[in-house]
Amino acid sequence: MQLSIFFLAIVLIRQYVSAACISSGNQNTINEALSSGGTGAIVQLCAGVTLQIAGTISFTAANQEISTAGYPTGSTRATIQIATGNDVSTLISGAGYSGIRILNIQLDGNRPNAGFFNGGGANIEIGGTSSGQVVKYVNSRNPRGWSCLHVAEGGITSNYCTNATVSNNDIGPCGESGTNSAGQGQWADGISFACTDSLVEANDITGSTDGGIVVFGAPGTTVTGNTITSSSTYVGFGAINLVDGLYDGKFTNVQITNNQISGSHLFAAGISIGACVWSGPCKSPYVYTGPATVSGNTFTGHVTFPIAINGWTDGLTVFYPAACRIYQYLHSLGSRQRGLRCRHTAFKLCV
C-alpha cells in the first residue's frame, strides 16, 4: 500500500513538473523543453512574463505547442522579445512539423531597439511540408525582417503545406515605409501565406507597410473576416495582395471575403490582384489564374485604389462594381485579363 502511494506521488510530481509554466530563461530554456518533451509536448510560459532571446525557438516534433498558461487573450499573455546586440530575426520556427500550435502569446521582434535586419526572416516561420498547423490569439509585432508571420509553402506540385489555421491574432506594427540610407526596403508584411486549403480568419492587422495579408497562390485557401488597418504614420502598399505567384501562378479556389480594410495614413491599394499590379503595362512572363472570388469586402479611409487588377487571366469573380472600371482601364494598357466577371451588389464604398 505504501509503495503504491509512493509511485502515485512520483507520477503526480512528474505531471506537475511537465505542466509547470516557464517564468524565466531564454530560447535555450524553451528549446530544451521542446526537445525533451518530444511529440505532443506542451511548453507554456507563465502569464505576464517577458523572456528575451538571442536565438530562434524551434519546434522539434509534431503536435507540439508553445503558449501562455491559462490561455489569456490580452496584455497578460507572455512576451518573447528579441534582445539587442545579436543577429537573430526569427523568434519561432516550425516548418515541416504537422499539428504544431502557437497560442496566446506575444512575439516582439523589437525592431526599434534591436534594429532592422536586411534579409532577415519573419517573426514566425512555419508551414513547409506539413498539415494542421495553428496560430491563434498571438500578437506578433516589430519584425526585424520582412514579415510578422510567414506560413510557407511545402512542395509546389506535391508534399504541400495544407490545412493551416491562422485566426484571432492581433498583428502589427510591421515594418516602416521607404528605404534606409543603404537603399534597403524597410517594409514588412502582416501575414505572408502560402499554405493550401487553409483558413486565415478574424485577424486584426494594424500597421503593415508591405502587404497586410499576402496570399502566395495558396490554392483552396479562404481569407475572411479580417480587419486590416494601415499605419497612422507609414504608407502601406496593399491591405490584401494576390500578387506573388507560387504554384505556377494558380490561385485555384481562393476566396477573399468579408474583410474590412481601412486606410489610416494610406493604403496604395485595398485588394491587389494579378502579376503586374505594381508594374503598369504587364511585362510579367506569365499571368495568374483562378478561379478565385473576391466578395463582401469593405473599404474606408485613405485607400487609393480599393481594388486593382493587372496581370490575371481566366477565372476571377469580383463582387464590386468599381472593379469593372478598373479592369477596363488596365485592359487599355495591354493587360491580359480573360475570364473576369464583375457583379453589382449592395456594396457601399466610403472614402
pLDDT number for residue 89: 98
Rounded to the nearest 5 degrees, what angle is found at the Cα of 225, between the Cα atoms of 219 and 228?
95
User: How far does CA 244 lie from the centroid of its chain?
Assistant: 14
Give the C-alpha separation, 143 to 111, whole Å: 6
Instruction: Find the length of the chain.
Output: 351
Buried b (16+ CB within 10 A) or exposed e, 156-187: eeeebbbbbbbbbbbbbbbbbbeeeeeeebbb
**DSSP characters over 262-327:** EEEEEEEEEEEESTTGGGSS---SS-BB--EEEES-EEEEEEEEEEEE-SB-S-EEEE-THHHHHH
349 exposure class (CB count in 10 Å sphere: 0-12, 13-18, 19+): middle
Task: Using the structure block, give the residue that is written with the C-alpha cell 480573360.
Answer: 338
> pLDDT tens per residue, the chain (351 residues)?
454 544 444 434 333 334 699 999 999 999 999 999 999 999 999 999 999 999 999 999 999 999 999 999 999 999 999 999 999 999 999 999 999 999 999 999 999 999 999 999 999 999 999 999 999 999 999 999 999 999 999 988 889 999 999 999 999 999 999 999 999 999 999 999 999 999 999 999 999 999 999 999 999 999 999 999 999 999 999 999 999 989 999 999 999 999 999 999 999 999 999 988 887 667 666 689 999 999 999 999 999 989 998 888 889 999 864 444 433 333 333 334 444 554 433 322 222
pLDDT number for residue 313: 85
Cα radius of gyration (the chain): 22
Per the rule left: phi > 0, alpha: psi between -120 and 50, beta: everything else, 249 is left
**What are the φ and ψ backbone dihedral angles of 2, each rounded to 5 degrees?**
-65, -40
pLDDT number for residue 191: 98
Q: H/E element holding 189?
A: strand 189-193
Residue ranges per structural domain of the chain: 49-58+83-342
Residue 87 CB neighbours (<10 A): 12
